[in-house]
DNA sequence: CCATTACATAGACGATCATCTATGTATAGT
DNA sequence: ACTATACATAGATGATCGTCTATGTAATGG
């Protein structure tokens, strides 16, 4: 399993404000000024959070005149669920390499 | 949606070493010394990581003589998947409260 | 052209984090 | 009793993080 990308997604999600942004975007595209209205922090702080989300591959942006429209990356939604299922699956191949490993015995 | 608990899980998972620990435990119970063999960091560092995972409700521990056996909380596995699905679901009720919200229109 | 709006960037600051060494505390074996 | 093993705790340190103010930039409207 490729932890690197998954960890980057998890890090980007592991902030209550960014999690709320993802929740907001899960219902469709929004521009920065619309998102900002739901928070108490400053505009540069939002700009910072959006960059973190972009770098993690969670959102993408389309420029439209003065506005930046942010949307969730469908690839992120898919990959995050997939990685989560793989991590927490009970029948995944075990890393522990012990002869008495419960998981390997189960396979 | 209760972000608080979900964020705590995400924060605990958002570290490559702790993610690997979760992966290791997904195949069954392990004691600290077994887990430690898979890493380069020191024993106190592992102890710290295990505490973070416990505080997030991700692992629980059973003492057996000198050993501490760590296991994944089944409740965590269930709740994390559930929260993830809820967050990323396309048909979840929207927070944006805009009259032209794509999600609300879809409902 | 000038003011306004919608953002991004730079730099600073306090808080949190991952890691370490040193040390403490049980438990087990001899 | 003594030693070794398995783990936890304390405290320090450097790095990262979330936020801020100040400023820059690009687009729009009169």
3-state helix, strand, coil in chain B (%, to 5): 55, 15, 30
* Per-residue pLDDT, B53: 98
ipTM of predicted complex: 0.88
* Per-residue pLDDT, A94: 55
d(C-alpha B34, C-alpha A94), whole Å? 13
Q: Taking 60 as the threshold, does the pLDDT of residue A11 lie above it?
A: yes
Mean of the pLDDT values across residues B38-65? 98
Domain layout of chain B by residue ranges: 3-106
- Check A103 against B27: CB less than 8 A apart: yes
Written as six digits, the tokens of A69 are: 């429209």
- Chain B residues with CB under 8 Å of a chain A CB are 1, 3-4, 6-7, 10-11, 13-16, 19-20, 22-24, 26-30, 34, 38, 72, 77, 80-81, 84-85, 87-90, 92, 94-96, 98, 101-104
d(C-alpha A68, C-alpha A20), whole Å? 18
d(C-alpha B92, C-alpha B85), whole Å? 10
Percent of chain A with pLDDT over 70: 82
> Can you say whether the dihedral through the CA atoms of A91, A93, A94, A98 is positive or negative?
positive
Confidence of residue B74 (pLDDT cuts 50, 70, 90): very high
- Greater confidence, B40 or A96? B40
> Can you say whether the dihedral through the CA atoms of B91, B95, B96, B97 is positive or negative?
positive
- Check A28 against B101: CB less than 8 A apart: yes
- Check B103 against A27: CB less than 8 A apart: yes
β B67-72/B59-64 pair status: antiparallel
Q: Taking 90 as the threshold, does the pLDDT of residue A1 lie above it?
A: no
- Least confident window among A97-101, B71-75, B79-83: A97-101
Mean of the pLDDT values across residues B58-63? 97
- Mean pLDDT (chain A) is 88
β B67-72/B30-31 pair status: antiparallel
Q: Taking 90 as the threshold, does the pLDDT of residue A80 lie above it?
A: yes
Residues 18-57 of B with CB under 7 A from strand D: 31-33, 36, 43-44, 46-48, 50-51
- pLDDT tens digit string along A17-34? 999 999 999 999 999 999
Which top CATH class is A3-106? mainly alpha
């Amino acid at each position: 399993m490729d932890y690197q990308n998954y960890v980057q997604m998890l890090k980007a999600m592991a902030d209550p404000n960014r999690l709320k942004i993802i929740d907001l975007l899960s219902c469709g595209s929004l521009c920065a000024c619309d998102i900002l209205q739901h928070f108490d922090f400053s505009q540069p702080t939002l700009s910072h959070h959006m960059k973190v989300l972009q770098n993690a591959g969670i959102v993408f942006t389309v420029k439209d005149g003065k506005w930046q429209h942010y949307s969730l990356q469908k690839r992120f939604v898919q990959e995050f669920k997939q990685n989560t299922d793989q991590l927490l699956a009970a029948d995944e191949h075990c890393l522990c390499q012990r002869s008495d490993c419960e998981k390997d015995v189960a396979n």
